[in-house]
A and B are shown apart, each in its own frame.
Chain A
Amino acid sequence: MMSPMKNLPMCQFFTNSRTYVPLLLLLLGLQQGLAQELGDHQYTTEAIEEGSRVYTQQCALCHGPQGALIDGVDLRRGQFPTVRSDADLRNLISSGAGEGRMPAFELRDDEMNGVIAYIRAGFDADGIAVKIGDPGRGQILFQGKGECASCHRVNGVGPRTAPDLSFIGAIRTPASLQRNLLDPATALLPINKSVRLVTRNEETIVGRRLNEDTYTVQVIDSQERLRSLKKSDLVSYEISDAPSKQPTTLSSDEVADVIGYLLTLRGLQ
């Protein structure tokens, strides 16, 4: 999960982009005679597929197949340090960025449109047809029967031991949220695994892993304290492969409602 510090600019971006993007797409489309790009989904499947090809060839080497290998940039989830509109994106790709870290790319118009389409489509030409239900009902399930709120925190309410979900709608696709609810074992990101540490002073620390390197590990413990431990001070360090939650027993309609609610969680409005 992302830290709140990093999420702040992203959430600003998301609230703004929702207003700008369709307008700019419209303007761009009219201006450049690309009206055919504007369907129900703004960009055509063909453009997204072309973009997938261009992305793989020109961008993936540095940005990675998931688009998140450069810190502060998550292309698939639309997180950029400076870019807001598609025009910004176009401009950045053609002139380079990051004080020479990203070179300028000379792309043909169809390639440029494609790569932007691919980024805006969240790297997914088809997507998975995930049912999205009623956010209001979803919120009630989240707080009640679903038992989500007993571990997860949203907008300042709830425990911090599990990842905070205030921004989850901005950083997860519906398919990924669904997988997490139905089959948490395969969806669990390795960094988020539960850990159990025993120190030389015979203190036992149970918590969620936040970061790790060769000599140290950082966790948030069950008392919500941030702890950094030297591995050389530990007599035992266990990482659990089991997610701390079970696959949900909610009905499929109820799962759809919860997803609907989670998708509304986009941080501070």
Chain B
Amino acid sequence: MKTIKLFWLLNLFAAALMAALNVSAQVSYDRILNAADEPENWLTYNGGYSSQRYSRLNQLTPENVDQLQLKWTLQNQVFGAWQSNPIIVDGIMYVTERPNSVMALDAITGRVFWKYRHVPADNALVCCGANNRGVAVLGDKVFMGTLDARLVALDRINGQPLWNVEVGDVSLAYSVTMAPLAVKDKIIVGVGGGEYGIRGYVVAYDAETGEQAWKTYTIPGPGEPNHDSWQGDDWEHGGAPVWITGSFDPDLNLTYWGVGNPGPDWNAGQRPGDNLYSDSVIALDADTGELKWYFQFTPNDGYDYDSVQVPVLADIVFRGTPTKVMMWANRNGYFYVLDRVSGEFLVGKPYVTVNWSSGLDEKGRPIPTPQPQGMPTYPGNQGGTNWYPPSYSPRTGLFYFSAWQDYATIYRAEESEYEPGRAFLGGGFSVLAPAPGAPTIGIGRTNPINNWTNEVGHASLKAMDPQTGEAVWSYDQFDVSDSGMLTTASDLLFTGGREGYFHAIDARSGDLLWHVNLGGQIVMAPVTYMVDGVQYLSVISGHALSTFALRDR
């Protein structure tokens, strides 16, 4: 008897000890800070604060990548573009499903532990689909923004809601589609609604309580610097949303955010001025939200050139000098390198045909060359690129992203009046087509037959050298691509596209190494992780999340 009792006591003690030890297995800020050191996990939307989407894992190599085998598939239960980016923590994957569900699953088998459903309010309004791009994790919690502009905190172990706060007014068409960013003890998100006359902002919440810590508008109010880049009350409904996850430099204590288009979208003449900080990158103090610097890519934009790209940070030797840079392939067709300490412009060159501007001046400001009414503007409305997350490999020193080549739009501007909660677009556009009435490209792909063809536009994966601002090589696809990038320490590059192909490419040469037809559009960026010594690769195509690893031996 006595021995049995002692046995149970010891067991209890062991369990308590294990639970205590588990605290260290939480996703602490330190762990996220050093995410690169634990490549078996994928801890943030962009794989770490510098958003390089580069993994040190090297089990998959150019030599064995053709031995990849499907390990499991998770079928989505809802229709629509699945833009979510999985997060992987110690063998557990967290992925969102539209409109606003979170699932925790076993990263080895794809079987689901729990699912949390948030049903957005009926009046939630988003321009371009009920998208959600994923969660943030911090401590024992997981965080999701919602279409009805809320931020929800869940227990990471059992999926129970812990707090749920309002980020914006849903009746005014504020929304959150981005994956939040966890920095120190805060959860930071931005708001969507650039097509509905919102006034954008970035806002931080205490991760424990959901209490608001700071909020910084992307359009300065009266009395604030640069308010005079707007006239009259244009600033009140000037858009400038933030709908893609930013980056963080812990040494500078700065968070970086890409800011979206000014509103109304296509009538720049209706809102004279530079319309700051629309189409800019803004550097905000991580503790206070204070604006430290900004760089505007497209002043007084009339083409919907949101600068909602992921700010990719790297410490490189730039033309002989060690420099903290930020690399940015912008929707406006230019590739930029900025000094991320000061926001100073270092490099800027067009990577696709650009005719809205004839070039950049010495400070990086574009020289505008608006096209006559009815004539095509390059790049077109969806941009030379868009929100698709790029990758930077410190091994190759190259920056990789999806560009849209030979794609143009004919814009039409018209006066429009702001009405709360309604589209505020200021005109319209049509994509340049090779024959009257011919099919063109839309926001996503729903047709298995490509009847628009590459004559309307096509993808070109570009490997950019930040030293020169020029592509070292390109890899073209027949259709366009909204897929992000992943690079690894074995110089592999993984990406997708609207055709449903998942490609493995040599990150140095641009040669195709392996590809598989997964059948549905890939509109997220692949991720990689390791469990029990096996390197996995996950990608979402259509309505299926597929996970690959090397063939079992």
- Interface residues, chain A, with chain B CB atoms under 8 Å away: 3, 53, 56-58, 60-66, 68-72, 98-101, 103-104, 106, 173, 176, 179, 186-191, 210-215
Contacts and interface: CB of A to CB of B under 8 A. Distances in A.
Given A66-B440, A100-B130, A104-B122, A211 B450 contact: yes
Contacts of A98: 79-80
A211 B497 CA distance: 16
A66 B423 contact: no
Contacts, number: 120
- Interface bracket on B: 35 or more
B122 A215 contact: no
Interface stretch (B83-91, B214-222, B431-439): B431-439
Nearest to A70: B446
A8 B455 CA distance: 29
Contact of B442 (A69, A179, A191): A69
Given A99-B78, A99-B79, A189 B439 contact: yes
Interface of B: 78-80, 98-99, 122, 124-130, 195, 412, 414, 416, 422-423, 425, 427-431, 434-443, 446-456, 476-479, 497, 499, 501, 515
Given A100-B130, A213-B499, A64 B80 contact: no
A213 B437 CA distance: 22
Nearest to B459: A214
B128 A215 contact: no
A contact face: mostly helix, strand, loop, or mixed = loop
Given A66-B440, A101-B129, A213-B478, A187 B435 contact: yes
Given A188-B435, A190-B435, A191-B453, A214 B429 contact: no
Given A211-B449, A212-B478, A186 B428 contact: no
B446 A103 contact: no
Contacts of B478: 212-214
Contacts of B195: 61
B428 A189 contact: no
Give the 4 A-B residue pairs with the shortest CB-CB distance, closest first. Answer: A69-B442, A56-B428, A71-B446, A65-B430
Contact of A62 (B128, B431, B454): B128
Contacts of B412: 56
Contacts of A60: 428-429
Contacts of A211: 448-451
A191 B447 CA distance: 13
Nearest to B429: A65
Contacts of B127: 61
A106 B422 CA distance: 9
A58 B129 contact: no
Contacts of A210: 449
B261 to A, nearest CB: 13
29 contacts: A56-B427, A56-B428, A61-B127, A65-B428, A65-B429, A65-B440, A66-B430, A68-B439, A69-B439, A70-B446, A71-B448, A100-B78, A101-B129, A103-B130, A179-B436, A189-B435, A189-B451, A190-B453, A190-B455, A191-B450, A191-B451, A211-B450, A212-B453, A212-B454, A213-B478, A213-B479, A214-B478, A214-B499, A214-B501
